[in-house]
Amino acid sequence: MSELIRVQDLRVVACGERDEVDIVKGVSFSLQKGEVLALIGESGSGKTTIALALLGYARRGCRLAGGVVQIGEHDMLALSESQLQTLRGNRVSYIAQSAAAAFNPAKKLIDQVVEGALIHDLGSRAVLEAKAIELFHDLALPDPERIGQRYPHQVSGGQLQRVMAAMALISDPLLVVLDEPTTALDVTTQIDVLRAFKRVVRERGATAVYVSHDLAVVAQMADQIVVLNGGEIFEHSATAPLLKGPAHEYTRSLLAAARPDTTIRPPSDIAQDTPLLTIQGLTAGYGNKNAQGMPAIRVLEDIDLTVRRGQAIGVIGESGSGKSTLARVVAGLLVPALGGLTFDGEPLGGSLSSRTNEQFRRIQMVFQNADTALNPMHSISTILSRPLKMYFGLKGAALRERIGELLDLVRLPRTMADRRPNELSGGQKQRVNLARALAAKPDLILCDEVTSALDTVVGAAILELLRDLRQQLGVSYLFISHDISTVRALCDDIVVMYSGHKVQAGTRQAYAEAPFHPYTDLLIHSVPELRQGWLETCGATTCQTLPPMGPKTNVPGLCTFLSRCPVRVDGLCNCVAPERRIIVGGSEILCHHDSAELLKTQQSNNLTVAAYA
């Protein structure tokens, strides 16, 4: 079989003021028709740069300096810009990481899906719209006949990502480039999107290059894997042998980061019995309030939570479960409608204006995206100096020395103090983000998805840093994530939230084996395993084919997980509100089922302690 895609000795350089620096250094690989090749590596390894070169494109400040990129009969590096424009979105298509940033919010989805094909004159609007609807069916989008009439903000992130796939596939391209298409999605949505992508790629015989830093995701999609580091290929192999026995030490480090070390435990001697933060009966939301003071959109309902001094509590759940809203309430960025907060035995006001400067100092927040959290116009020194001046009045030599100490704490060289955020890697920026919070010498740090935007190696390093800082400083964490494996690597206790309700709470050990709340079971089984074929076998534990429960599912007070629960009982779950109960292992759950009933269904999923410990 002849090669459909051939990359030979590809070189890409970054153009400086005086000289050029190689950022892709003689990369070569090939694909047969219908194959999927994965490009993996840490941030800065050259994955996306190579993927964009397949479209004959280099980002600003870079240049395609040499080599061959052959797509079918087209040598992409030898074509003019006008010739490349006839191929992009036609013979070569691209699926970006963030569909939300790629779509025009003012245009309907169907118009954007067919737009490129119309520009390339691949058919009439009627024919192309019919083809788009067929793709919507294949990609398992809801209401495929009418979803195209919606605007981007009217569909979920996972649905929008699949609409982008339809846009890329509508031209029947020779090559589809998928650039981290599931990185920004929560674990349950990721399964749906991966399953849809894989089915369509296989059924349509598409040839694809999949860019990712997540080996567990790549294992579900790729026939072969290219491991990159510093713009060079360190290893190139078929997927199965690479996962079983990687040849290069760097590949082994990626595998180790993808398989969390089950021997690591959070420090056991840090947490004290003294409550630091107490939340009682918390209800909060957004929108106009009614006469009773309740917001139009309730995001949190009746939340009780206690964080002890030196304790790390993980809060997990899908997007929209209320995790970040909980952090915003604790930070004073959202006033609760009901309930109260106390901090170190004193009332904690719901609004910023009702809090003391000392309460401001003692509660700090580290945001998910360091790119938007750090001012790009300021140096790292200026960013870190602000809380030091505001809370402690430091200046001069004392200020410079404390900035150096903070950089030491987060394991950054002191020479970085004079750099700006755009001169740092993603992991380095997140360390600065953390150092700014530590500058206030807080007692509680709210960590909102601080590793979700990072590759697995950098994310693991940030988790290790957080664990060491907790041991060193005795700080408490409220750690928000959608990944239970990440939370279990850092936290003492774990709270599972769904649709604004606390559906399970217990120690990390309680999440090692069944029984769980049915939603917790779904989350655990949604974390990709590092083996081929997992995607095909995980369907038994997800909620893809549940029958409708009838008209009573929206009755206030009923279980919010009702419509997705695989163990719901008609006549009970859709009629009576669940109560909180303690199950085997010590967790508290919000469910009608007891331990024995949950064990019967969940042990059949072959859940093992080793997989999630």
Question: Does 303 have pLDDT greater than 90?
Answer: yes
Report the C-alpha gap between 103 and 270 in whole angstroms.
47
539 confidence band (pLDDT: 50, 70, 90)? low
What three-state secondary structure class fits 245?
coil
pLDDT for position 142:
86
pLDDT for position 605:
58
Report the C-alpha gap between 534 and 228 in whole angstroms.
24
Report the C-alpha gap between 467 and 310 in whole angstroms.
11
Q: pLDDT tens, 475-486? A: 999 999 988 888
pLDDT for position 193:
85
Backbone angles phi, psi at 83, to 5 degrees: -70, -40
Q: Read off the tokens for 152.
A: 């981007």
Averaged pLDDT, 260-277: 73
Averaged pLDDT, 524-547: 70
The answer to whether 266 and 463 have CB atoms below 8 angstroms apart is no
575-316-597 Cα angle (round to 5):
45
Q: pLDDT tens, 134-144? A: 999 989 888 99
Report the C-alpha gap between 170 and 340 in whole angstroms.
53
Averaged pLDDT, 400-417: 95
Question: Does 217 have pLDDT greater than 80?
Answer: yes
Which domains, ranges and CATH numbers included, belong to the chain?
3-258 (3.40.50.300), 275-476 (3.40.50.300), 512-612 (no CATH)
Q: Read off the tokens for 437.
A: 């919070």
Of the given ranges (398-402, 540-544, 592-596), which has the lowest mean pLDDT?
540-544
Averaged pLDDT, 523-551: 67
Q: Which amino acid is at 327?
A: A
What three-state secondary structure class fits 512?
coil
Q: Read off the tokens for 513.
A: 């084996």
pLDDT for position 610:
35
Report the C-alpha gap between 109 and 107 in whole angstroms.
6
Report the C-alpha gap between 309 and 462 in whole angstroms.
22
Averaged pLDDT, 229-245: 95
Of the given ranges (87-96, 266-275, 360-369, 393-402), which has the lowest mean pLDDT?
266-275
pLDDT for position 56:
96
**HSE-up of residue 178 (Cα within 13 Å, Cβ side):** 30
Q: What separation in angstroms does the CA of 262 have from each of 257, 265, 360, 489, 512?
A: 12, 8, 36, 8, 11
Question: Does 131 have pLDDT greater than 90?
Answer: yes
Q: Read off the tokens for 402.
A: 């404390």
Report the interhelical angle of 456-473 vs 426-438 (nearest 10°).
Answer: 20
The answer to whether 337 and 301 have CB atoms below 8 angstroms apart is no
pLDDT for position 260:
58
Backbone angles phi, psi at 151, to 5 degrees: -100, 160
Q: Output the CA torsion 535→539→540→546 (10° steps).
A: 170
What three-state secondary structure class fits 1?
coil
Strand 363-366 with 338-343, pairing: unpaired
| Exposure string over 215-228, b if 16+ CB within 10 A, otherwise e | bbbbbbbbbbbbbb
Average predicted confidence (pLDDT) for the chain: 89
264 confidence band (pLDDT: 50, 70, 90)? low
The answer to whether 38 and 222 have CB atoms below 8 angstroms apart is yes
Q: Read off the tokens for 346.
A: 């004193």
pTM: 0.83
Conformation bin of residue 500: beta by default, left when phi > 0, alpha when psi is -120 to 50 = left
DSSP string, 252-296: HHHHHHHS--TT----SSS--SSEEEEEEEEEEEEEEE-TTS-EE
| % of the chain with per-residue pLDDT over 90 | 63
42 confidence band (pLDDT: 50, 70, 90)? confident
Report the C-alpha gap between 105 and 320 in whole angstroms.
21
